[in-house]
Amino acid sequence: MVVHGGYGAPLLEAAQQLVGPIDLTLVEARFGEPPGELRGRIAQAVAGADQGQGVLLITDLCGSTPANICQAQGQVHGGSELVGGLNLAMLIKLSTCDRGRPAHALAEELRGTGVRSIQLGSDLPQRES
């Protein structure tokens, strides 16, 4: 999981308080960090996670420098997949996914969960206070 700034650890902690431990590596992109340094930290995390079946890479913002670096790393590690637009529901789903499946299948499941978790209050049933 690669996110901007310092919100990755609190987001992961919130998910873990709800569902227990989640096995993932967190890389927080520091503001002003040279891209080469971030690239090295991401490459190290991906290499440590790759067991020959590809790696699921999760970023907070598609099109950002961290996402672009992750996309390039995914191409180096065959079978990897990138999901952008991280939210808490996706982390909770990650805790229950069959992690033995290919990265692309996990990515599809997380994307579906993320999309379904975004709702407008006006579309929800009205509840009394």
Express each pLDDT in 26-58 by its tens digit.
999 999 999 999 999 999 999 988 887 789 999
Summarised one tens digit per residue, pLDDT across range 98-123 is 888 999 999 999 999 999 999 999 98
Whether 63 maps to a domain, the answer reads yes
Q: Report the pLDDT value the prediction gives residue 79, as an integer from 0 to 100.
A: 86
Is 72 part of a structural domain of the chain?
A: yes
Measured from the Cβ of residue 83, the count of other Cβ atoms closer than 10 Å reads 24
pLDDT for residue 76: 80
In a domain, 89, yes or no: yes
Q: What is the pLDDT of residue 96?
A: 92
Strands 81-84 vs 2-4: parallel, antiparallel or unpaired: unpaired
Q: How large is the average pLDDT for residues 54-77?
A: 91
Half-sphere exposure at residue 105, Cβ-oriented, CA atoms within 13 angstroms: 7
pLDDT at 55: 92
Residues 86 and 66: their CA atoms lie apart, in Å, by 13
Backbone angles phi, psi at 68, to 5 degrees: -65, -40
Give pLDDT tens digits for 76-89.
888 899 999 999 99
Structural domain span for residue 50: 2-117
Both tokens of 2, joined, read: 């690669």
Is residue 81 included in any domain, yes or no? Answer: yes
Q: How confident is the model at residue 73 (pLDDT cuts 50, 70, 90)?
A: confident
Q: What is the pLDDT of residue 17?
A: 97
**Has residue 109 been placed in a domain?**
yes
Q: What is the pLDDT of residue 114?
A: 96
Cα-flanking dihedrals φ and ψ of residue 28, to 5°? -100, 120
Q: Examine the pLDDT at 129 and tell me if it is beyond 80.
A: no
Whose structure tokens read 């379904």? 116
Structural domain contains residue 70: yes
pLDDT of residue 65: 93
- Domains identified in the chain, total number: 1
Give the CATH number, domain containing residue 92. 3.40.50.510
Does residue 78 sit within a domain?
yes
Domain membership flag for residue 77: yes
